[in-house]
Amino acid sequence: MNQLEQLKQYTVVVADTGDFNQMAQYAPRDATTNPSLILKAVQQPAYAPLLADAIATRRGQPLESVVDAVLVRFGAEILRIVPGRVSTEVDARLSFDRTATVARAQRIAALYREQGAGADRVLIKIAATWEGIQAAAELEREGIHCNLTLLFSFAQAVACADAGVTLISPFVGRIYDWHKKSAGTAWDEAAQAGAHDPGVRSVTRIYDHYKHHGIRTEVMGASFRNVGQIAALAGCDLLTISPDLMAQLQRSDAALPRRLDAAAARAQSLPAVHYNEPQFRYAHNDDAMASDKLSEGIRLFAADSARLDKLVAELW
Catalytic-role residue among 8, 40, 125, 293: 125
In DSSP notation, the chain reads: --HHHHHTTTSEEEEE-S-GGGTGGG--SEEE--HHHHHHHHTSGGGHHHHHHHHHTTTTS-HHHHHHHHHHHHHHHHHTT-SS-EEEEPPGGGTT-HHHHHHHHHHHHHHHHHTT--GGGEEEEEE-SHHHHHHHHHHHHTT--EEEEEE-SHHHHHHHHHHT-SEEEEBHHHHHHHHHHHHGGG--TTTTSGGGSHHHHHHHHHHHHHHHTT---EEEEB--SSHHHHHHTTTSSEEEE-HHHHHHHHH--S-------HHHHHTS--------HHHHHHHHHT-HHHHHHHHHHHHHHHHHHHHHHHHHHHH-
125 is catalytic: yes
Chain length of the chain: 316
Q: Catalytic positions, please?
A: 125
